[in-house]
Chain A
Amino acid sequence: MKSRVIKWIDQRFPFSSFVKHDLTEYPTPRNLSYWWNFGFLAGFVLVLQVATGIFLAMHYKADVTLSFDSIQHIMRDVNFGWLLRYMHSTGASAFFLVIYIHMARTLYYGSYRAPRELMWWTGQGLLLLLMATAFMGYLLPWGQMSFWGATVITNLFRATPFFGDQVVVWLRGDFGVGDATLTRFFALHYLLPFLIIGGVLVHLVALHTVKSSNPSGIDLAAKDNIPFHPYFTIKDFYGLGIFLIVYCIFVFFLPNSLMEPANNIPANPMQTPTHIVPEWYFLPFYAILRSVPNLVGGVVAMGLSVMVFSFMPYLDRSRIPGGAHYRPWYRVMFYLFVVDMLVLGYVGYIPPTDQSIMIGKIATIFYFAQFVLLPFISRKEEQWLIRCGLPPEVETLIASEAKEKNKLPHQRRIGDIK
C-alpha cells in the first residue's frame, strides 16, 4: 500500500523505481567479503567531514591574525568544539585510511579492469580531490606545520616550465604564504568536498551500470546475486560499527597522536621548524619527492607516483579473473607493493640521513619498476597459468567468454552482467 504522497511524486519523478532499482533491490553478489565495506565507509566519512566542517566553519576565522586563536576558541570555549575539531582532524586520517584500503582492495581483486575502468578513473579523480582538500584544510589552523607544509608544497610549482615563479605567486596570492593564501585555501577547502560529493555520484552511477565485482572475479549467475537490502545494508552497518569503534578510540583517547606537535605553535614565517613533515597519508609520495635530487625531477616523480594508478587498466595485460586470488605472481607483486609503500612512508617520516635517502631511492625505483614491469609479468603469468591449467571455475568462465566472442562487440566484455 503506497501512500498517496509517494504516488503523487512517482507520477512526476521516478522516486520509487529509483529506490527499488538502486537501493533496495539492487542485485549484489552474495560472496562479497568485508573488503567491500570500505566504499560505504568512505561515503560515511565524507558526510562526517562535511557535517563537522560546516559547524567548525561557524566558529573559525580565516585571517592570519585570528585563525590560530579561533581554533583555540573552538577547542576551549565552544560547546563540544573540541569534539568537532578532533572528529574533523581524525576524520581526515580516517578518510585516507579507508580510501587506501578501498584502493588496495581494487588492486588486489583486479577490479580496475574492463568494464570498470571508469570507476577506477573517477576514483583516481576523487583521490586527487581528497588530497587537495586535506592539504588545504591543513593550512587552516595556521600552525607552524600548516604554514611550512603549504610553503614547501606550493613552492614545488616552481618546477612549472617557463613561468614557474609566477605560478607560485598566483597560487599563493602573494609572494609568500600569507593572508591571501589562507583565505583562498579556506574558500577552496569549503568548495572541494562538494565537488567530491558530485564525483561520488558519478562513481556510483558507473557502479550501478557495471555492477559490483566480487572476490571470485567471475560473473555470478542471477541466483548468486542478492538484493542490497537487507543483506548489505545490515552488513555495511555492522562494518560501520567496527569502524566507529576504532575511529572513536582515536577521537576520544589519541586525537593528538595524529597531529604534529609543531602545529600547536602559531605559524612563524621567520622560523623554520627543524624538520618539516607532511601528514602520514602523504608520506610515501613525499619520500618519492625527496628521493630525486633535482626539483623538477622530484615533482614529476611525485606527480607520476600518484597518477600512475590510472594506467592500471592498460598495464595489467592478464585476463585471468579473480585478481590476485588466482594469480600467484600478481599476488606477490601486490604484497611487495604494500611493503614498498610502508617503507616509503617510513623514509618520508624520518629526518633524511644518507642511509634513508639510499633506501628511499631504492624504494622509489622499485615503486615505478612494478608498474613498468606489470604488462610483461601479467602477460607471461597469463600464458603460464593457461598452460598449467586453471581452477575449474576459471575454466568455465573462459569457456563462457569464448562464447561471448560471438556476441555483438558492445556486449563482449569480461565481467558484464548477463
Chain B
Amino acid sequence: MKKLIFILVLCCSSFHAGAAESKLEQIQLETDLPAVERGADALMNACHTCHSLKYITYRDLVKFGMDKKKVSDWRGDQPLDTALTSQLSDETAIQSYGIVPPDLSLIAKAREGGPSYVYSYLIGYYITPEGMTGNHVFPETRMPDMMGMSGATDPVQRAELQAKARDIVSFLAWAADPHEEERHKLGYYVIGYLLVLTAMLFVVKNQIWSRLK
C-alpha cells in the first residue's frame, strides 16, 4: 500500500514538473459564470479577429448561461450553431505574421502549465532595452502585444490588464474543458458513494472472515 501511494505521488508530481513552469506566474482560476462571461467579452473584442475557437459555437455560450443579447451582438447575423471561427484568412495570417494563429479551443490544456502558461504569456510582454517588444514566456512569439501590456507602466493600468487576462484565461479554461464543473459535481457523488460502499464491504468482509475461527 505504501508503495502504491508512493508511485501515485511520483507520477502526479513528475507530470507537473515542467521545465518552463518555474518562470510561470501561477494563477488561481475563477470558474464562475461572471468571470467566464467577462473573459468571453474581452476575447471577442481583442483576440477573435485573429484566433478561432472552432469547437465552441454561439449556442454553447448561450447554453452555458451567458447573456443572450451579448451573444447575439457577437454573432451578428450568423446562425446560432456557427463556431467561433476567426475573421482572419489563413493566407492573410501567413502574410502578416508568418504563421496561422492557433485555434484557442484547447489552448488552456495544450501547454505545459495550462491556464498559468496562457496567463503568464499574455502578461509577459515587455519592452527590451533595444526598444523592441519581448515576451518572458515565449520570447520568439510572432503575436503582437494585443493587450498593450508592454506599454502599460502605470500600476493601476497593469492591474486592470492583469485582471482582464485572468478573465480571458477563465474563459479559455472553460472552453478547453466545458464539462469540468459537471465532472467535479458528479465526482463528489461517485466518490462519496464509493466510500460508503467500500466501508460497508469492509464490515461485511470482516463479518464473513470472522466465521473462520
Contact = CB atoms under 8 A, between A and B. Distances in A.
B55 to A, nearest CB: 5
Interface in A16-56: 30, 34
Contact of B179 (A82, A248, A249): A82
A72 B205 contact: no
Contacts of A230: 208
A34 B11 CA distance: 22
Query: Of A237, A261, A262, which is in contact with the most chain B CB atoms at under 10 Å from its CB?
Result: A261
Contacts, number: 103
A75 B11 CA distance: 24
Contacts of A241: 194, 197-198, 201-202
A254 B16 CA distance: 11
A241 B186 CA distance: 17
Nearest to A235: B205
Interface residues of B, number: 43
Contact of A82 (B16, B112, B183, B208): B183
B208 A234 contact: yes
Nearest to B114: A261
A156 interface: no
A264 B106 contact: yes
B110 A238 contact: no
Nearest to A30: B212
Contacts of A261: 109-112, 114
A401 B58 CA distance: 77
A248 B109 contact: no
B212 A246 contact: no
Contact of A264 (B109, B195, B197): B109
B14 A242 contact: no
B161 to A, nearest CB: 25
Given A264-B106, A264-B109, A76 B205 contact: no
Contacts of B195: 245
Interface in B15-73: 15-16, 19, 55, 60
Contacts of A280: 11, 14-15
A184 B62 CA distance: 40
B12 interface: yes
A131 interface: no
Interface in A94-141: 97, 101, 104
Contacts of B187: 248-249, 251-253
Interface in A243-299: 244-246, 248-249, 251-258, 261-262, 264-265, 280
Interface string B150-183: 0000000000000000000000000011110001
A342 interface: yes
A240 to B, nearest CB: 8
A265 B194 contact: no
How extensive is the interface on chain A, given as a class?
35 or more
Contacts of A231: 208-209, 212
A345 B201 CA distance: 35
Contacts of B191: 245, 248-249, 252
Given A34-B1, A261-B109, A351-B19, A253 B184 contact: yes
Contacts of A256: 109, 114, 177
Nearest to A100: B7
B4 A101 contact: yes
Given A245-B195, A338-B3, A265 B209 contact: no
B146 interface: no
A256 B114 CA distance: 10
B110 A76 contact: no
A353 to B, nearest CB: 11
Given A249-B187, A252-B183, 18 more contacts: A30-B212, A76-B178, A86-B183, A97-B8, A104-B3, A234-B209, A238-B201, A238-B205, A241-B201, A241-B202, A249-B191, A252-B184, A253-B184, A261-B112, A264-B106, A338-B3, A345-B10, A351-B19
7 contacts: A238-B204, A245-B198, A249-B187, A261-B111, A265-B102, A342-B10, A346-B14
